[in-house]
Homo-oligomer: A and B are copies of this chain.
């Protein structure tokens, strides 16, 4: 049978599952001899039993009795004693902190008799009645479910009645009177008398804390924070100590280092003659902790010793809650302290230098999300800002610029030296030029994985999307935001980290960490100027990154379509290209070649259209391979349906209908009409599931061949120039080994042919995307014909869930996050249970057929911290992500190699 109660002397910090965070740390402090009030923890297992059975387990009662007796013996007072009563607090304490979500009852043990004992024992009658008043109020609200307003109103009434400015001005008699009123409230609203029996109070409080685990707001919070619902909470029953017994008492919070900068030293606040809830209520201003040294040097010394002890013991920055009761120090809680991103890096390396942790541990103490925060320029915190609207924080960073509404403007204004923000209803591939030119992107529609969001993240540009109040009128060249009209050319600022959009100029501060990441440690330090704290930070990041690079098993590549992006990625530490989307090379002006291909009426015209593309593609590849010289460069054959390069069916149909209606003739009309016929013919109900990827390659003769030849010829050209080109040819959307076999045969034929022409041996690896469930399920077959696998987890997520990213994020993802079907978009963080199961199956299949088969991932997930840890565990050899995410991926790949289990993504 499970044991439900643990004395503080029996537990330890590694028992958070069973004792909750608070209970485990109270036990740990007790164990190492720090001054903790006596107490015990009722386990999460008891809470789970309570949830299962709907009542407290019967054996719990006995265990609580025995533990309580030990507390009473240790203190030498009895719960609810008429003379020297022991009071206890009953506090929740779950494995993961859920601030403000769950219940606490203080001063349990007071009743009509023991209140007098407390008055006598403490020598402070006002204190005793105030404590009793607080108990009834808290108990009534928390345990009996009475509206707290009733108590507040009675208190307010009493204050007015006696003319007291604050609660402190109420005397003992007023409070005694109030207790009477409170008891009436309990009887009337709670349907019962306030329980006088101390043990009944205790049992009811315990049950109420357990019950608070399952309130709606707690469930909602857990859903949002992705905390499992079935963990349950522990309950800590602790002897009360009082910081409000006069000027020699007090309460405070201490940090072992500055949680905001990471600077070593003593940080914290102290409030004399107060209880913890007074600090929270913020009625009185706290003192700096160092003032305690003046007021009570012995206590201060004892506290700082305890802080050093805890930091050495926990080997990390700790925060501590403490109370001084008439000169005696009591520690009420400690935990590893939350900190800013900058502090995280600095503290981690400081602790290494203090020989408290290893570099492996240091990289476990920071996260990719923290690194990301450090990379972006930020708005000057001190500047005044005029909030215009909010949207979704889609791509972090701060951007300021003139409003532009189209590509032409964006390019023109940028060429004229302006910084611009591209504002669009939504973006599509045609807006790429404008996005490249812009400093930031703002859209009225779309979610975190809309085109605008994905592309902006890929470029590392600030973006706010789905700002629904924004309405764009391109014709009028103006933007309306909830009634406010802004003309193109007006300046706005957007914060991609918060989703805020401001009107007018806001000063931006660049990040030296970014400078370090892009240009190395010297440049980074130089960018810090005289800021020594920032210098320490840059060096800390450098040490962390260097170690992450040393320990990680997974390589990090980048998804780059152009040589520029490739150079940028390389500067950030990319060890190759994991995905070059060749279709991006058919946009803009080159679209007309695809139109020619599609409109070709003869075999010859078709061949000509393709032939025109060859030198363009070859040149693309030459530049790309030059930028990535010596590193693997995975070139994916064309993936999207050809009609994506053509005009929209509906727009074109309307244009043609109107032209006919108006009797227009001429070349343009003929062209449109011909094009409409083709667009109609090629129209697909579900292009995502249609003629694309390898299917397109097998259907359109010469299309893949053109690309393969361009790769081969680019290889030759680079070698002739003394380079070391390492392309890898990747086939998209393979579902069956036979598809791969056919493409491979053709590719090998072309490579041999070009090789013969130039007397070169051309044998780039030929592999495929694993991005369909069937590919993952039949990976053992596909591996027969593939030199490598690259998991395309975007598409795999689409098919595994049956979600079209373009369609569903805007339409029902918000609801799904609200009602808990999703805790996070599966396009952002890999869905381990579903999509992940297929990745694991694909890896196993591949390795079964080709032990050592090289495998990576090139979906957006390749840059997501949690997903990176999954890929490490799944055994992949590399992740590939947007150039901007490369440093984050390097760090997380390193962390994945040294941390395991629940800490992996903390």
B689 to A802, Cβ gap below 8 A?
Answer: yes
State how many angstroms separate the Cβ of A797 from the closest Cβ of chain B. 9
0/1 string, A761-805, CB within 8 A of B gives 1 = 000000000011110011001000000000000010011111110
Q: Is A688 an interface residue (CB 8 A)?
A: yes
Give the 5 A-B residue pairs with the shortest CB-CB distance, closest first.
A689-B804, A686-B804, A774-B834, A690-B807, A773-B773
Interface residue ranges of A728-745 to B (CB < 8 Å): 733, 735-736, 738-739, 742
Indicate whether A815 sits within 8 Å of B661 (C-beta atoms), given known contacts A685-B806, A689-B808, A691-B807: no
Indicate whether A821 sits within 8 Å of B736 (C-beta atoms), given known contacts A657-B654, A685-B687, A772-B801: yes
Indicate whether A689 sits within 8 Å of B691 (C-beta atoms), given known contacts A658-B661, A802-B799: no
In the complex, what distance in Å separates the CA atom of A733 from the CA atom of B837?
Answer: 19
Q: Is A507 an interface residue (CB 8 A)?
A: no
Q: Is A187 an interface residue (CB 8 A)?
A: no
Q: Is A436 an interface residue (CB 8 A)?
A: no
8 contacts between A and B (CB under 8 A): A650-B653, A661-B661, A685-B688, A688-B804, A691-B807, A738-B820, A777-B833, A799-B802
In the complex, what distance in Å separates the CA atom of A592 from the CA atom of B696?
Answer: 39
Name the residue on B nearest A803 (C-beta): B689
Q: Is A258 an interface residue (CB 8 A)?
A: no
Q: Is A698 an interface residue (CB 8 A)?
A: yes
B650 to A834, Cβ gap below 8 A?
Answer: no
B686 to A812, Cβ gap below 8 A?
Answer: no
- A685 surroundings in chain B (CB, below 8 A): 686-688, 804, 806-807
Q: Is A260 an interface residue (CB 8 A)?
A: no
Name the residue on B nearest A691 (C-beta): B811
- A821 surroundings in chain B (CB, below 8 A): 698, 736, 738-739, 742
Q: Is A684 an interface residue (CB 8 A)?
A: yes
Given contacts A686-B807, A688-B689, A691-B812, 4 further A-B contacts (CB under 8 A): A658-B658, A684-B804, A690-B804, A699-B815
- A130 surroundings in chain B (CB, below 8 A): none
Name the residue on B nearest A693 (C-beta): B802
A834 to B738, Cβ gap below 8 A?
Answer: no
Name the residue on B nearest A649 (C-beta): B650
In the complex, what distance in Å separates the CA atom of A795 from the CA atom of B799?
Answer: 10
Residue from B653, B661, B812 in contact with A695 in the complex, judged by beta carbons closer than 8 Å: B812
In the complex, what distance in Å separates the CA atom of A690 from the CA atom of B685?
Answer: 12
In the complex, what distance in Å separates the CA atom of A285 from the CA atom of B819?
Answer: 80
Name the residue on B nearest A742 (C-beta): B819
Q: Is A835 an interface residue (CB 8 A)?
A: yes
Name the residue on B nearest A834 (C-beta): B774
Q: Is A838 an interface residue (CB 8 A)?
A: yes
- A799 surroundings in chain B (CB, below 8 A): 689, 773, 799-800, 802
State how many angstroms separate the Cβ of A771 from the closest Cβ of chain B. 8
Interface residue ranges of A798-847 to B (CB < 8 Å): 798-804, 806-808, 811-812, 815-816, 819-822, 831, 833-835, 837-838
0/1 string, A260-294, CB within 8 A of B gives 1 = 00000000000000000000000000000000000
B773 to A695, Cβ gap below 8 A?
Answer: no
A687 to B690, Cβ gap below 8 A?
Answer: no
In the complex, what distance in Å separates the CA atom of A618 from the CA atom of B5?
Answer: 56
In the complex, what distance in Å separates the CA atom of A658 from the CA atom of B659?
Answer: 10
In the complex, what distance in Å separates the CA atom of A806 from the CA atom of B684?
Answer: 8
Interface residue ranges of A496-544 to B (CB < 8 Å): none
Indicate whether A819 sits within 8 Å of B738 (C-beta atoms), given known contacts A733-B802, A802-B689, A812-B698: yes
Please count how many residues in chain A sit with their CB below 8 Å of the partner chain's CB atoms: 57
Name the residue on B nearest A771 (C-beta): B802
- A802 surroundings in chain B (CB, below 8 A): 688-689, 733, 735, 771-774, 795, 799
- A819 surroundings in chain B (CB, below 8 A): 698, 738, 742
0/1 string, A678-711, CB within 8 A of B gives 1 = 0000001111111100010011000000000000
Name the residue on B nearest A739 (C-beta): B821
Residue from B654, B774, B815 in contact with A653 in the complex, judged by beta carbons closer than 8 Å: B654
A808 to B691, Cβ gap below 8 A?
Answer: yes
Interface centre among A657, A687, A742 (most CB of B within 10 A): A657
State how many angstroms separate the Cβ of A649 from the closest Cβ of chain B. 6
- A687 surroundings in chain B (CB, below 8 A): 685-686, 807
Interface centre among A686, A803, A811 (most CB of B within 10 A): A686
- A835 surroundings in chain B (CB, below 8 A): 774
Indicate whether A807 sits within 8 Å of B684 (C-beta atoms), given known contacts A698-B815, A698-B819, A773-B800: yes
- A689 surroundings in chain B (CB, below 8 A): 686, 688-689, 798-799, 802-804, 807-808
Name the residue on B nearest A655 (C-beta): B657
State how many angstroms separate the Cβ of A777 from the closest Cβ of chain B. 5
Indicate whether A735 sits within 8 Å of B834 (C-beta atoms), given known contacts A686-B686, A811-B690: yes
Indicate whether A778 sits within 8 Å of B688 (C-beta atoms), given known contacts A695-B812, A773-B800, A811-B699: no
B690 to A808, Cβ gap below 8 A?
Answer: yes
- A686 surroundings in chain B (CB, below 8 A): 685-689, 804, 806-807
In the complex, what distance in Å separates the CA atom of A528 from the CA atom of B781?
Answer: 52
Indicate whether A774 sits within 8 Å of B657 (C-beta atoms), given known contacts A699-B815, A811-B690: no
In the complex, what distance in Å separates the CA atom of A24 from the CA atom of B811?
Answer: 63
In the complex, what distance in Å separates the CA atom of A812 from the CA atom of B693?
Answer: 12
Name the residue on B nearest A684 (C-beta): B807
In the complex, what distance in Å separates the CA atom of A239 from the CA atom of B347?
Answer: 91
In the complex, what distance in Å separates the CA atom of A688 from the CA atom of B802?
Answer: 8
A777 to B838, Cβ gap below 8 A?
Answer: yes
State how many angstroms separate the Cβ of A131 from the closest Cβ of chain B. 43
In the complex, what distance in Å separates the CA atom of A97 from the CA atom of B808?
Answer: 51
B773 to A834, Cβ gap below 8 A?
Answer: yes
0/1 string, A649-685, CB within 8 A of B gives 1 = 1100110011001100000000000000000000011
- A688 surroundings in chain B (CB, below 8 A): 685-686, 689, 802, 804
In the complex, what distance in Å separates the CA atom of A385 from the CA atom of B707?
Answer: 52
- A736 surroundings in chain B (CB, below 8 A): 821-822
State how many angstroms separate the Cβ of A261 from the closest Cβ of chain B. 42
In the complex, what distance in Å separates the CA atom of A736 from the CA atom of B653?
Answer: 40
In the complex, what distance in Å separates the CA atom of A295 from the CA atom of B821?
Answer: 84
Name the residue on B nearest A648 (C-beta): B650
State how many angstroms separate the Cβ of A774 from the closest Cβ of chain B. 4
- A808 surroundings in chain B (CB, below 8 A): 689-691, 695
State how many angstroms separate the Cβ of A748 from the closest Cβ of chain B. 17
